[in-house]
Structure 1
Amino acid sequence: MPHRNAPLTETGRLRLARCVVDDGWPLRRAAERFQVSPTTAKRWADRYRTLGEAGMADRSSRPHHSPRRTATRTERRIIKVRILRRWGPARIAYLLHLNPATVHRVLVRYKLARLAHLDRATGQPIRRYEHSAPGDLVHVDIKKLGNIPDGGGHKTLGRQAGRKTRPNAGYSYLHNAVDDHSRLAYSEILADERKETAAAFWTRAQAFFTRAGITIQRVLTDNGACYRSHPWRDALARTGIVHKRTRPYRPQTNGKVERFNRTLLDEWAYARPYRTEQERRDAYPGWLHTYNHHRGHTALKGRPPASRVPNLTGQNT
């Protein structure tokens, strides 16, 4: 494929070369006609004489020799450290006394996956998937979050003063449900993670998805006690929903809701210094609405989850 700024396509080069070689045009006249330099006109004419039409194709600009390329032995050391320790270019460079840019070029040359694309436990590339329709799978999880003492915590008062207000502040439990296909999220801040609380949350979450026109087929959770309980089993069984659980110690299997947990921490829970826990809770419904209806999602090509749920109300508010 020609460079976007190239004055000649392969067809244009062939026409230029034929004018010079077959029709006997002077190089300068051909160069003016095709708006290139005489040197360029000579190059394509010479290639046409030697190779014919095949010589009009693009050639690689890669040099035949790279005398300053990193030694093969050093490249092997870089790859070995990356595979065994799963370090980034900077740490590998400090260990081997190299320039981080050199290490990065070697990793790119050998097409080694980014660390963010690898499973932390095994080092294998993460298999990403997405179900084809809303409701095919809903990810459910609980995020435990420390409460903010009245008057603010260490983010507002500073670390020393914040330590004095911390005792007995307690915890909140965010029960979250995220649709695999659309990333539409339903979430509540509750007082505990007991089985009755989790089952009641699911009843309300299912009603939310039903109002959005989503019929849920399967639910994926971790192996927490509340998700192995009879109330949870019965809540799903009443509507014929299949319950799937992740493998032990493999939270990445439930990755979409785990990513939602991280997003809410970054963009809501720790986004600004709240003075009280109630102030932070009051801000949550607005943030959740923005997440579902307006915040662009990278996995959805910059569109919000609502773009994949046509029946969802409040999309334009």
Structure 2
Amino acid sequence: MSTDKESRLSPQERLGLVMDVLQHGLSVHRAALAYRTSPATVRKWVGRYLAQGEEGLKDKPVERRGRRGPITPSSAMLVLRLRERELSVRDIAKTVEAAESVVAAILERAGLGDAMSTATPIAEADTRMPGELVFIVTARLTAIEERDRFGRGRVLDGEVLFAAMDDCTRVLFAAVHEDESAQTARDFMRHACAFFAALGVAVQRIVTGRRSGFRSHTFLRACREAQVGHHFGHFGSSSANSKSRQAEDLVGLVQSEWGATSHSSASHRRHALTDWQYHYNWKRLHPGLDRTPMAALGALLGGEPPPDPTKIWTP
């Protein structure tokens, strides 16, 4: 029998670490640096909190034999990873071999309890005016190699495509960022709202996936400040409805048309996205609308298609 008293973190510090990871969107590695510990230790305390609540963060004997509880800390961490893949509570429970009530409790501690049950009905609602519902989806981009003037190369990996689509008109706003952190998700949401505002559209509600950046307090606080309702969708799962699949298909379209082009550098890839976005919104006929998205927006707003916002607004 052994205890956790040799740990450098007090129970209060462990709770602060866990909250920074689960609620503030801090990555495991950055949390390890901030609290001067290892990533494995961060995962251990987050897993114990998810499995047992605050009781799991206390100094107490750890039994070496027998069952430690309804679910192990490592399985609790697996629950979050499976949820990020948009699996249902029932599917997760089958995978980790735990009761659905145990999985639901873990998701509740991670701040994913209440929002999940209301996501699908809101995403299914019909939208008749621009801005009523905007989907924000992300996709990780392939690595790209850049070379300087001396011929030295470096590989940029991990860049993320963010795309915001108005459900009513299919108008698109997209940008490439270096990560999916809480601050990046917040900034993209603000830029997307500013883009639509330049078109005369006020964003009322947004639907996102369940990545940690969208679950963070930083992102939720920004939504409240912007007076934008925020809901979670079922992207990439069997329970995804038609609207969620349309948003996913849009990201696939962006990647297949814009991403299929060979780009010499990351900056070139980003400039090419701006050009493709203009083509999609103003020039390309949308098959579901029989017109361009901007023409559809202009018709609903009672006038001609609005001008290109990039000429009057830049993020």
Q: TM-score, normalised by structure 1?
A: 0.50
For 1:237 and 1:294, the matched residues in 2 are separated by 35
In 2, Cα distance between equivalents of 1:150 and 1:242: 40
Amino acid at match of 1:137: L
Displacement of 1:128 in angstroms is: 8.2
Distance in structure 1 (CA, Å) of the matches to 2:198 and 2:184 = 22
Out of 138, 152, 156, the position equivalent to 2:134 is: 138
- 1:312 corresponds to which residue? 306
User: Percent identical across equivalent pairs?
Assistant: 25
Indicate yes or no: 2:274 matched with 1:280.
no
Contact 2:163 2:173 in 1 (8 A): yes
1:19-168 equivalences under 5 Å are 131-150=127-146, 168=155
Deviates more, 1:210-219 or 1:241-250: 241-250
Deviations 1:81-132 (A, max 9, x none): xxxxxxxxxxxxxxxxxxxxxxxxxxxxxxxxxxxxxxxxxxxxxx987521
Shift of 1:188: 1.1
1:189 match: 176
- Cα offset for 1:306? 0.2
**What does residue range 182-221 of structure 1 map to in structure 2 within 5 Å?**
182-221=169-208
Alignment match, 2:21 = none
Residue aligned with 2:146, SS: coil
Give the SS at the match of 2:127. coil
* Residues 1:194 and 1:251: Cα distance change in structure 2 (over 3 Å): farther
Count of matched residue pairs:
174
The amino acid of 2:205's aligned partner reads R
Q: Which amino acid aligns with 1:304?
A: T
User: What's the offset of the Cα at 1:282?
Assistant: 2.4
| C-alpha distance in 2 between matches for 1:130 and 1:307 | 20
Match of residue 255, structure 1, among 245, 250, 275: 245
| Greater gyration radius | 1
Report the TM-score, using the length of structure 2 for normalisation: 0.50
Per the TM alignment, residue 274 of structure 1 is displaced from its structure 2 partner at its CA by 2.9
Q: Which amino acid aligns with 1:290?
A: H
Which residue in the other structure is 2:257 paired with?
267
- 1:61-90 CA distances to partner (integer Å, 9 max, x unpaired)? xxxxxxxxxxxxxxxxxxxxxxxxxxxxxx
Deviations 1:213-252 (A, max 9, x none): 1122211111111111111111111132211112473455
Distance of 1:273 and 1:201 partners within structure 2: 25
CA distance 1:179–1:244, change in 2 (3 Å): same
| Partner residue, 2:74 | none
| Higher RCO (CA 8 Å, separation ≥ 6 residues) | 2
Name the residue aligned to 1:293: 282
Contact persistence 1:268–1:287 (CA under 8 A):
yes
CA distance in 1, matches of 2:224, 2:125: 26
Indicate whether 1:236 and 2:223 are aligned: yes
Secondary structure at the residue paired with 2:128?
A: coil
C-alpha distance in 1, partners of 2:166/2:177? Answer: 20
Distance 1:206 1:190, change over 3 A: same
**AA at the equivalent of 2:306:** L
CA RMSD of superposed structures (Å)? 2.6
2:234–2:244 CA contact under 8 A, matched in 1: no
Structure 2: stretches of 5+ with no match in the other structure: 1-122, 148-152, 299-304
Structure 1 residue runs of 5 or longer lacking an equivalent are: 1-126, 152-164
CA distance in 1, matches of 2:213, 2:223: 13
Task: Tell me which residue corresponds to 1:69.
Answer: none
Corresponding residue number in structure 1 for 2:32:
none
Question: Would the aligned equivalents of 1:138 and 1:216 in 2 still touch at CA under 8 Å?
Answer: yes
